[in-house]
Chains A and B, each alone.
Chain A
Amino acid sequence: MASATRDEWPLALPLAALFIVCFVAPFCVLLALSLHADAQARAFSVAQYAKFFGDTFNLSILWSTLWLAIKATLVCLLFGYPIAWVCSRAPARWQSVLVFVVVLPILTSVVVRTFAWIVILGREGVLNHALRALHVIDQPVPLLFTETGVIAVLAQVQMPLMVLPLFATLSRIDRNLGDASAALGAGAWRTFFRITLPLSTPGLVAGCILVFSACATAFVTQTLIGGARLVYMPLHIYQQAIGANNWPFAAAISVVFTIAVMIVIYALNRVGRTGKAYGDAR
């Protein structure tokens, strides 16, 4: 008799059907539309892609979007790793409190969080006031509508996506390994870089992938903090689709953007596998 818990995969069929009809099919239609010279033309054409790659403006937007997301991911890593590390070593009571604090921002509406940063970063905002009160600056410095501002806000908004997978991996690492390393004479930092860090690679890569893709596509934060002058891919798609009503071109931009994000995610996965193999080899 087959076990009652096995071969229950037909239960996933309704969701699979929904995904094929409402997720895979729309992307196929999008791809098809991007291969047309205009919305009416029936002939196949790569004109939209030629247009995209023929203009350095489009390429610079693509590049600055990916670069923005990479920088925001690195900031998340710099601060997110220590939180996860402290979390995994904290007593159970404090763990809940810390996770609660980390999760609060991601569950508070992204529009609200971004709005909060406008209050902080504006010309008359909290930060400019504080810096002037401390006589660090005489004139208000522009923080809103700058790339630095966007990176800071993205890092704050997406930090939980880095901390949660890292925390999960770090708390699964056998604590005896660290003790063994110490007993064998390795210092705290050496143990961290040679034992803890390599073993936490799966969580680290998962966190980086989630944060990177969230930052690349963070329409609200990019438009409200970046303003109209800093154009990133999501706004570019939106402007071409809704503003200019140029659907085939918007479709081509969407396809290029999706593929570019997938390439970075693939690369991160490869780095993760190499890192893990490196850790295993030691």
Chain B
Amino acid sequence: MATLASPAANVAAPPPRTQSATWDVRSQRIVFGTLTAIAIVFLIAPTIIVLLTSFTATESLRFPPQGYSLRWYKALLDADQMQAAAWNSLVVAVWTTLACVVLGTAGALGIARSASRFARIADVMFMSPLILPALAFGFAALVYIHLLGFHPSIPLLIVGHVIVCVPFVLRTTIAALAQVDPALFDASASLGAGRALTFRRVTLPLIGRGVGAGAFLAFMASFDNVPVSLFLADERTEVLPIHLWQQIDTNLDVRTAAISGVIIIVTILLMVLAERFAGLSRQLAR
């Protein structure tokens, strides 16, 4: 017995705390910690700088600003073109999100637990907008609708956005479904519940947070989309990112910082809501 016990005790024993071992652990912590600290500053600093700059009292984008005021936020109230573009973006993003949630949830339920060939091919196809050049798709869509004799319009823009935004809903919903014990569905069925009732009372409550996180991501992706809107939106249907892109490229002014400030604040608020109601950070890290 004693001979059997001793190797086990060796394995379970803590690693020898020699000088070199502690130095090894410490150096790793220092290297990874330092890189993480630099990266976090690198990730956050631009957002903070643009937010502070937007409150400048002067006409320059210099940081730190000489004096603070809300004058550029007030100037936004008169920026008709920008407001129209923001409204278009909001309309497109809301419809895109609704379509993504309906089609994406159904699609996720369809392919998540199916072993069929169709499901695997569909999975690859549904995810490909995430990795193929979105700009090539935007141009392809323009050529396509021209061939069919259509002109750029809001509904077509929404369809284009659905293609590039639906992978987000699919991904989070499939991840949520993977955590659900399939026996629950069988139990519901064997207790006499029909498919619709099972979906409403069992499936939806279990995957709701995944769908919610996906919907949030799809909304943000649509509101922020440039590559597709670049080709499918014209002057009439101009959306906010395109408007801002053109403004920054031609005549940069501080109003751009103010609208950026609005976008940042709204984004943070939406993120806090998404974190509370959909557990965003846990949904994303799956």
Contacts and interface: CB of A to CB of B under 8 A. Distances in A.
Contact of A29 (B61, B63, B128, B140): B140
Interface stretch (B66-74, B75-83, B221-229): B221-229
A210 B168 CA distance: 13
Given A4-B185, A188-B28, A234 B126 contact: no
A174 interface: no
Nearest to B33: A86
B144 interface: yes
A167 B285 contact: yes
B107 A27 contact: no
Contact of B241 (A126, A164, A171, A220): A220
Interface string B91-113: 00000000000011011011101
A242 B242 CA distance: 14
Contacts of B21: 187-188
A76 to B, nearest CB: 9
Given A99-B285, A107-B271, A15 B104 contact: yes
Interface in B133-153: 133-137, 139-144, 147
Interface residues of B, number: 109
A126 B107 CA distance: 47
Contact of B49 (A79, A116, A241, A242): A116
B245 A210 contact: no
Contact of A15 (B126, B140, B144): B126
Contact of A111 (B42, B195, B244): B244
Contact of B281 (A23, A80, A95): A95
A198 interface: no
A101 B43 contact: yes
Contact of B46 (A116, A233, A255): A116
A164 B284 contact: yes
Contact of B163 (A23, A104, A188): A23
A197 interface: no
A100 B263 contact: no
A126 B41 CA distance: 14
A117 B46 contact: yes
Question: Main SS of chain A's interface residues?
Answer: helix
B223 A217 contact: no
B131 A265 contact: yes
Nearest to B32: A82
B230 A16 contact: no
A3 interface: yes
Contacts of B271: 100, 103-104, 107
Interface in A67-100: 78-80, 82-83, 85-87, 95-96, 98-100
B204 interface: no
Interface of A: 3-16, 18-19, 22-27, 29-30, 33, 78-80, 82-83, 85-87, 95-96, 98-105, 107-120, 122, 124-126, 129, 155-156, 159, 164, 167-168, 171, 180, 182-185, 187-189, 192, 209-210, 213, 216-217, 219-220, 223-224, 233-234, 237-238, 241-242, 247, 250-251, 254-255, 257-258, 261-262, 265
